[in-house]
Structures are given as structure tokens and as C-alpha cells.
Amino acid sequence: MHEEPVVRVRGLRKAYGAREAVQGIDLDVHRGEIVALLGPNGAGKTTTIKILATLLKPSYGEARIDGLSVGPVNARQVRSVIGYVPDYFGSYEDMVVLEYLEFFAATYDIHGKKRKQVIDDVLSLTDLSYKADAEVNSLSRGMQQRLSLARVLLHDPKVLLLDEPASGLDPRARIEIRELLKELHRMGKTILISSHILLELADFCTTIGIIERGKMVFTGTVREILERAKVGLVVNVGVAANAASAAEVIKLLPGVIGVETFDGEVRVSLDPKLGDPSLIAHKLVTQGYKLTRLDEERVNLETAFMRLTKGLVQ
């Protein structure tokens, strides 16, 4: 018997007048997973996250977190089990990091020795202990994002809802945020993250959901998405000389549906059911060609995203 998902979304819709920002999204996030909502700006990712964070009321559909129905009636209980990081930090003039965390700890009814211990722990986890006395507004964008994560960890939530946490960060800060998310995953946190930055998600997300125009286009692992976006089989063949004549030899092989030459290489499109890349190598070598390269062209996450969102894969 499968465990119920920690986050369960069914038929979620959100309309602003005649415009539907979210159009019937279904989503399951199981305990300990890190799931990314991937899509261009305006796809409906932020709206979905805000509904789950109890900041927006859906027009239709149901969302549940840790068994609680997300909505005005259960808003307080839902907020006790989630940590929400928006895509903006806000302004906290004349407030230092320690005061910032003490303020939010108080809102979670964390007091006395426990408050000090919890704040020390989250500062250590986010590598901000040395900035405890720094003004919040003096921090870099990357440090402010880590401070946002420290804030939502104060009450030890089961689920983290992160809206574009790497937006606007320099490469070093993005790596730091990514490593912090990996550590939170190792700690057993369930994480739902929205992003339009593709390649950063591939190495640590358990599941990716691709959203386009308010609809969930595809959900699955990175491997499943890459396989889904694969169109045919393409092999790049490098030869030391006479690429054009090698291409003519390849054209006659079974399963070959297209051949192109460029810069001394041959790009071969094969029917996945009939083509055999090893046959290309065997044929060329037996006819005296010297191979410098033969490898299958692989679809990366960026290519897969473009194909799936443009409807090139059915």
C-alpha cells in the first residue's frame, strides 16, 4: 500500500477575470521528494505555489498538504507545516540578521533558550553565523536567499515551498543555494521548487513537472523527460577524410532516414527500430575509412523542455 502524498493537487484552477493562470493542474509530491515545477515566466508556477502557501484561494479544484485541505479554514494549521520562500526578499531597514530571525521565531511561538538554539542551528545550516550582526539590507542577494531559507526552517516545517530561489543570483550564489537544497533533501525535507532555470535542476530533483500556459504538460523523472523528448536516433560520425563519400556509403545502410555532412563529420538520422549504429562503424571500417568519432546525440534538459512545451512530442 502506497503512502499518501504529502502534497496532493487535483484539478487546480485559478482565474483572474477571464484569464486562467492555472488550468486544471494535478500534482503529487511524496515525503522526502524534491519536485521542481519548470516553466517559462507566466506559466502559472508562482500562482500554484501561492495557492499551496495559502496566499491565494483557488477558483476550483483541491489542494492538500499533510492531509490538510489548503484554504482559509485550515490556513493556520497548513502554515505550521510549510515553509514558504517567495521570489522576492522584501525590505527590512535597520534590522540585523539576528533581530530578523528573532522576530520570526517569536511569530512561531519559539521563546527562551529554545529560540537561541534554533536560531544558532539555522544560521549554521545556511552558513550565515558570521553575519548575525550584519544589517539585512546590506547582504548580497545570495545571502538574503539563504536567510530566507533560515527563516522558514525556524519551526522545522515538513514541506518547503520555494518560488524561484535562484532567480537573480550570480553563478557562485546559485551553486550555494543548490548545495543547501541538497542538504535539506538529505535531512528528509519535502521540497517543491519552481524555476525557469533548467540545467540546475537536473542533478538533484527527484521529479520535474513542466508547466506551460497554466497546464501541466508532463511530469516524471529527468530520465523520463529526456526519453519522452527523444525524437528518433541521431548518430554523429567523424571520419579522417572523405566525409562526403562516407555519407554516400552510410545512406545505403538499413534504417538510415537522413544524412548530413558538415566540418568533416556525418550526422545520421536512424529509425530507432531498424537502425544499428554499430553497423555504420563496421561498414566504414571495412571500406577503409578511419573513424575519429561515433556517438549517439543525446537530448539535454533544455532541448527536452523546448520540445515538450512547443508540442513537438506527442
Q: What percent of the chain has pLDDT over 90?
A: 59
What pLDDT score does 1 carry?
A: 47
Angle at the Cα of 159 from the Cα atoms of 156 and 164, rounded to 5 degrees: 110
Helices 97-107 & 112-125 angle (0-180, nearest 10): 120
- Between strands 82-85 and 159-163, the pairing is parallel
**More confident position, 256 or 301:** 256
Residue 230: per-residue pLDDT:
66
Residue 130 pLDDT > 90, yes or no?
Answer: yes
Predicted confidence at residue 129, as pLDDT, reads: 96
- Rounded to 10°, the helix 277-286/243-251 angle is 120
Q: What is the pLDDT of residue 271?
A: 82
Given this model, what pLDDT does residue 72 score? 87
pLDDT at 212: 87
**How confident is the prediction for the chain on average, in pLDDT?**
88
CA angle 95, 99, 102 (to 5 degrees): 145
Question: How do residues 77-98 score in pLDDT, each as one tens digit?
Answer: 999 999 999 988 877 878 999 9
Query: Three cell numbers at 25?
Result: 493542474
Residue 312 confidence (pLDDT) above 50: no
How many angstroms separate the CA atoms of 140 and 261, rounded?
49
What pLDDT shows up at residue 303? Answer: 72
List every span in the chain annotated with CATH 3.30.70.100.
Answer: 233-298
Q: Which residue has the cell 550555494?
A: 176
Closest of 232, 210, 236, 227 to residue 300, by C-alpha? 227
Name residue, grid cell 511569530.
107
CATH topology of domain 7-228: Rossmann fold (3.40.50)
Residue span(s) of the chain under CATH 3.40.50.300 come to 7-228
pLDDT for 93 equals 78
Q: Which fold has domain 233-298?
A: Alpha-Beta Plaits (3.30.70)
Mean pLDDT of 218-227: 82
Own/partner contacts of 173-176, CB < 8 Å, gap of 24 or more, are 173/140, 173/141, 173/142, 173/143, 173/145, 174/142, 174/200, 176/127, 176/142, 176/146
**pLDDT-based confidence at residue 76 (cuts at 50, 70, 90):** very high
| Per-residue pLDDT reduced to its tens digit, 201-212 | 667 788 989 898
- Contact between residue 236 and residue 291 where contact means Cβ atoms under 8 Å apart: no
pLDDT tens column, 144-202: 999 999 999 999 999 999 998 888 888 888 888 889 999 999 999 999 999 876 556 66
